[in-house]
Amino acid sequence: MTVSWSKAPDFTADPERKAAVQEATTRDKEHYLRGGLTEIECRACHACVMVKKYSPHHTSVQWTSAARDNCPEFKAIRAEGGNPAMLPTCPRMSASIDHGVSEGIIPKESPDVDPDGYY
């Protein structure tokens, strides 16, 4: 007999519930990974990241592998044997994000009401 363990039930016996859970999980994943994010291109190297300002002092930046690979700042750190993950962000990308905020491309902070209905 094979015994398996999981934190959550898989609802195999209840296909409607399983479909509802999968739909909610997909919605949650979309909300937390992409909801409210704006694509910004670095004005120096043209790498693209996804950005969301939660407040004037809190910015979420989602780097793609292509953006990480193309960023000259990160390349220089890797060439010296360092880890770019230890850098808060690329200063050129940070300046591009600030420019995007000042131009109104990126909202300055999260809206009072979440368009996805989470808050």
| Domain locations in the chain as residue ranges | 37-113
Q: Quick one: pLDDT at residue 96? A: 96
Q: Quick one: pLDDT at residue 34? A: 73
Question: What DSSP designation does 62 have?
Answer: E
Q: Quick one: pLDDT at residue 74? A: 92
pLDDT band at residue 7 under the 50/70/90 scheme: confident
For residue 75, the tally of other CB atoms under 10 A from its CB is 14
- Report the predicted TM-score, pTM, of the whole model to 2 decimal places: 0.69
Q: Quick one: pLDDT at residue 116? A: 64
pLDDT tens per residue, range 24-68: 888 888 877 777 789 999 999 999 999 988 888 888 898 989 999
